[in-house]
Structure 1
Amino acid sequence: MSVSSYPEASMAGHPYNPPDLALPGYVPNKTAVPVLLACFAAGVGFVFSTTSALARTVQPGISRGKLLTAMWFMLCGCIHLFFEGYFAYHNAAMPGRVDLFGQLWKEYSKSDTRYLTRDSFTVCMETVTAVAWGPLSFLIGWLVITDSPFAHPLQILVSLGQMYGDVLYYAIFFFDESVYGAVYCRPESVYFWAYFVMMNGFWIVIPGCIIVNSIAETAKAFRFAQKNKIAKQA
């Protein structure tokens, strides 16, 4: 379907799919999309710069890899606890939310209208993510900065949880589409590829890399410990 055949304002007075979807209490976004995206990008930049400054103060010689890992988990903490936590708390009234987070969620919902309809999976998944992975992500960021040995096992735990939630999120989206014919995303490719695929894909690719690295570092530590044990026994 072309963009011209799918007007921004549908017959139900909203820009979401399906066009006749009922969204009681819906209020259109007042802020332009570029402004919303710029605000989100500015927030990401603030988290990264603050984490970098903190890490270099606490551990001046921190490696590039550890710094990037700390920045990632601090960003995850903010997104999980505050942004996704916002959705978990306000899920019943999302169509009418007009503050910054509400408008950001409504913009993202053009790629997945389940966020505006109290879909049981998205509400439960986002709530678990906010409550469990949010605080743990902040803890891991600090453990990485302070070079704690507890960082790697917790990194594996949270990264695996992130990947599992993301895989289920993708799988249920496509299952509903193929089995029930449910279409949650607008037809323009930007909403599917940029919003739905790319933005969520970060939580598969990056956690996957972190898991591989943490497993390698854990195995290295065990090999070192075993060699020392053998040497002492000899």
Structure 2
Amino acid sequence: MPAPETVQTVLSLAYVGMLVGVAAILTRRAGQHLLCRAQALYFWLVFDALIHVFLEAPFVWLSMDGRTVNTSHGFFASVWQEYSQADTRWGVADAGIVAVELLTAACTGPLAAYTARLVRRKDARYHFWLVLLCTAELYGDYMTFVPEWMSGSKVRGSFH
């Protein structure tokens, strides 16, 4: 019998793999009339939207109204508990992290889906929205990780 941590890791990876599969299926269905580059972009945008809506939005839900990931139960709680082993801020409803993830789930996910729709329709306006989306992604990453680097915080977990 595998350890519970191993089971959770496998389930978490399987969930993300399922999101990759959904993005691949949607790309195959939509991408028949797109160039290879556009198919790759469409896939990434769909996957990005799915991650923001179906992985990050549950984190926000679990981190509101006095709840925390570490005190919650269920599949998504255990996924984020696994993640919080590498960075404890995700387990305790850190206000900065929750604020960035709320913005990401509510705005960036739908923007990625909208941009994918424009790519699928071969609407050149996707270029503008793609630049905006990429800027939002970079800003979210900056606001998530740079404060920790600047404060000299030591994040739990190790890759060696």
State the shift of 1:66 in Å.
0.6
TM-score by length of 2: 0.86
Aligned counterpart for 1:80 among listed residues 39, 44, 52: 52
Query: Contact (CA 8 Å) 1:70, 1:145: kept in 2 or not?
Result: yes
User: For residues 63-96 of structure 1, what are the alpha-carbon distances to aligned partners after superposition, in whole Å with 9 as ceiling and x for unaligned?
Assistant: 1111111111111111112211111111123113
C-alpha RMSD over aligned residues: 1.9
Give the partner amino acid of 2:54.
Answer: F
Alignment correspondent of 2:104: 129
Alignment correspondent of 2:37: 65
State the shift of 1:124 in Å.
0.2
Residue ranges of structure 2 left out of the alignment (5+ in a row)? none
**Deviating runs (4+, > 6 A) in structure 1?**
none
What number of residue pairs does the alignment pair up?
Answer: 154
In 2 relative to 1, CA 41–89 (structure 1 residues): closer, same or farther, beyond 3 Å?
closer
Aligned counterpart for 2:78 among listed residues 103, 106, 124: 103
User: For residues 130-152 of structure 1, what are the alpha-carbon distances to aligned partners after superposition, in whole Å with 9 as ceiling and x for unaligned?
Assistant: 11111111111111111012211
In 2 relative to 1, CA 62–144 (structure 1 residues): closer, same or farther, beyond 3 Å?
same
Alignment correspondent of 2:121: 146
Percentage of pairs with the same residue: 22
TM-score by length of 1: 0.61
Q: Distance in 2 between matches of 1:87 and 1:102?
A: 8
Residue ranges of structure 1 left out of the alignment (5+ in a row)? 1-28, 191-234
Matches within 5 A, 1:149-188: 149-176=124-151, 178=152, 182-186=153-157, 188=158
